[in-house]
Amino acid sequence: ATSVDDHPEDAKLPLVLRAHRLMIRLREMDRILLNAQRQGRISFYMTCTGEEAIHMGAASALELNDQVFSQYREQGVLMWRGVFFEEIT
């Protein structure tokens, strides 16, 4: 498993707690962006509700120098890598 030096508060957590924290953040991000889409503030968003653990499990098995070609519904991998909500949106 890898940790992200840019986010020391997450990197210090045990792997399972870090994954859980990020799954909750991902679910909340989905809720915010889906609401924004429904209000017409953004044109397109696909949620990943129910797939959060897949993201964290796969991302935690990768090294930081491994390439990731993410698509729709794979925001969790970016979060695991330390990308902030503001950068994703």
Q: Could you state, in chain order, the average pLDDT of each consecutive group of 10 residues for the chain (89 residues)?
A: 50 85 94 96 92 94 91 89 85
Give the separation between CA 55 and CA 60, rounded to whole angstroms. 8
Q: Using CA atoms in the order 25, 87, 71, 2, what is the torsion angle rounded to 10 degrees?
A: -60
Contact 2, 62 (CB under 8 A): yes
Three-state DSSP at 42 gives coil
- At residue 7, the pLDDT reads 56
- Whole-model pTM? 0.79
Is the sign of the CA dihedral 80, 86, 88, 89 positive or negative?
A: positive
